[in-house]
């Protein structure tokens, strides 16, 4: 698995990286054994970059990832986590966290905090859960509704941590492009983690963000390449951005699937590889929670894709042509 440098920083990612939200029980529970086996399979497939966050399962994702990395040579892998949500112990009678998307007990509550102190508190807690003395990359997590504090307080704190050598790369993680583009233009970030906005059916990331990132030497890691399921398996009931896909969009995805089949390539293989065709994109981040998913992802990621297929997909176009 190729290792790609991130921006102007000193760290790297593997072209195929693992997103660990699913290992924090995103939507459905995953057992400890399955989570461990998924991470073991990822390592055996050559995946060496892992992304997590306190938000994912109220810290469960970070804990599981840390447990799986125990004993691995520290120079052999990279880890990214996020700041912006501080976990505070919850008071009350328990319950679950499904309202926030995670099948875990509601032992904590998330508090938005893009202050400098909040950044430090969040990172310190993440390191304890991960069992690491450092992470390689830290992202400001979903700061779109907190732009002023993120720019004025959280970003300078991350910049100081990078200057002190505590972290190697800093960036912003979001599923929206306007603020990410602003960060690329106005700050000295190394990387943007962009979810869902540069895929075969939604290429809005290419309007401003990706060209600006390329001009300024900022790397982009693309997540959400299947748009929450539509481009993995466009069957009736498939979801787009975690809601039922409109019929026109479903029909569009099926046209893409038909074009792929004509070349003997699964749609999910083309969807996973598509973002890497842009020079600003360093890696694709796939959310994998089962060892079979990991093995399939690694297989599809290395599948030969003929130029003719990319030409056919370009002729079909993206979501914008659906209306």
Q: Which residues contact 91 (CB under 8 A, 6 or more apart)?
A: none
322: pLDDT confidence band, cut at 50, 70 and 90?
very low
Average pLDDT over residues 7-17: 94
Helix extents (H) in 21-106: 32-44, 60-69
What single DSSP character describes residue 80? Answer: E
The token pair that represents 18 in the structure block: 């693992």
- Which one from 56, 139, 155, 198 is the annotated catalytic residue? 56
9: pLDDT confidence band, cut at 50, 70 and 90?
confident
Nearest C-alpha neighbor of 192 from the set 61, 127, 208, 128: 208
pLDDT in tens, 89-98: 998 777 999 9
Long-range contacts of 33-39 (CB under 8 A, 24+ apart): 34/289, 34/290, 34/291, 35/64, 35/68, 35/289, 36/64, 36/67, 36/68, 37/290, 37/291, 38/288, 38/289, 38/290, 38/291, 38/293, 38/294, 39/64, 39/65, 39/68, 39/69
The token pair that represents 307 in the structure block: 């130029």
Whether residue 323 has pLDDT greater than 60: no
What is the pLDDT at residue 321? 46
Q: How far apart are CA 99 and CA 19, in angstroms?
A: 21
Instruction: Report phi then psi at 248, rounded to 5.
Output: -60, -40
Q: Residue 313: helix, strand or coil by DSSP?
A: helix
pLDDT in tens, 26-63: 999 999 999 999 999 999 999 999 999 999 999 999 99
Q: How far apart are CA 40 and CA 298, in angstroms?
A: 13
Whether residue 184 has pLDDT greater than 60: yes
Q: Is the pTM of this model over 0.75?
A: yes
Whether residue 207 has pLDDT greater than 60: yes
Q: Which CATH number fits domain 14-321: 3.30.420.480, 3.40.50.150, 3.20.20.100, 3.90.480.20?
A: 3.20.20.100
Instruction: Yes or no: say if 225 and 268 are a contact pair by the CB < 8 Å rule.
Output: no
pLDDT in tens, 106-145: 999 999 999 999 999 999 999 999 999 999 999 999 999 9
Q: What is the DSSP string of 175-206?
A: S-SHHHHHHHHHS--SEEEEESSSSSS--GGG
Q: Which residues contact 230 (CB under 8 A, 6 or more apart)?
A: 201, 238, 239, 240, 245, 249, 250, 253
Nearest C-alpha neighbor of 300 from the set 231, 201, 252: 231
What is the pLDDT at residue 12? 98
Whether residue 281 has pLDDT greater than 60: yes
Average pLDDT over the chain reads 96
Instruction: Yes or no: say if 66 and 130 are a contact pair by the CB < 8 Å rule.
Output: yes
What is the pLDDT at residue 319? 62
Which region holds residue 101: left if phi is over 0, alpha if psi is between -120 and 50, else beta? left
What is the pLDDT at residue 193? 98
Whether residue 320 has pLDDT greater than 90: no
Q: Does the active-site annotation cover 56?
A: yes
- Angle between helix 116-130 and 60-69 (nearest 10): 50
318: pLDDT confidence band, cut at 50, 70 and 90?
confident
Nearest C-alpha neighbor of 241 from the set 256, 254, 226: 226
Q: How far apart are CA 256 and CA 45, in angstroms?
A: 28
Count of Cβ atoms closer than 10 Å to residue 60 Cβ: 26
pLDDT in tens, 54-105: 999 999 999 999 999 999 999 999 999 999 999 999 987 779 999 999 999 9
């Amino acid at each position: 698995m190729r290792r790609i440098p991130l921006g102007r920083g000193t760290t790297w990612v593997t072209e195929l990286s693992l997103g660990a939200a699913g290992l924090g029980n995103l939507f459905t529970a995953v057992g400890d054994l399955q989570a461990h086996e998924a991470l073991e399979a990822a390592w055996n497939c050559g995946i060496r970059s892992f992304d997590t966050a306190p938000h994912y399962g109220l810290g469960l994702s970070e804990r599981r990832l840390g447990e799986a990395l125990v004993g691995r040579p520290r120079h052999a892998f990279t880890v990214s986590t996020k700041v912006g949500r501080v976990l505070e112990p919850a008071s009350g009678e328990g319950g679950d966290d499904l309202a926030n998307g995670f099948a875990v007990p509601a032992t904590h509550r998330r508090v938005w905090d893009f202050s400098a102190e909040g950044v430090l508190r969040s990172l310190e807690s993440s390191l304890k859960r991960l069992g690491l003395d450092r992470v390689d990359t830290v992202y400001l997590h979903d700061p779109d509704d907190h732009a002023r504090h993120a720019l004025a307080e959280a970003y300078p704190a991350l910049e100081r941590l990078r200057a002190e050598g505590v972290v190697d790369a800093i960036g912003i993680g979001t599923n929206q492009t306007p603020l990410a583009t602003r960060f690329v233009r106005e700050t000295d970030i190394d990387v943007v983690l962009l979810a869902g906005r540069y895929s075969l059916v939604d290429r809005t990331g290419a309007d401003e963000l990706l060209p600006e990132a390329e001009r300024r030497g900022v790397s982009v890691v693309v997540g959400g390449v299947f748009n929450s399921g539509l481009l993995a398996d466009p069957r009736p009931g498939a979801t787009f951005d975690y809601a039922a896909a409109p019929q026109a969009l479903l029909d569009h995805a099926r046209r893409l699937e038909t074009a792929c089949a004509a070349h003997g390539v699964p749609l999910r293989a083309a969807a996973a590889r598509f973002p890497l065709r842009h020079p600003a994109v360093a890696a694709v981040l796939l959310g994998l929670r089962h060892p079979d998913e990991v093995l399939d992802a690694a297989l599809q990621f290395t599948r030969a894709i003929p130029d003719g297929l990319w030409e056919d997909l370009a002729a079909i176009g993206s979501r914008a042509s659906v209306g």
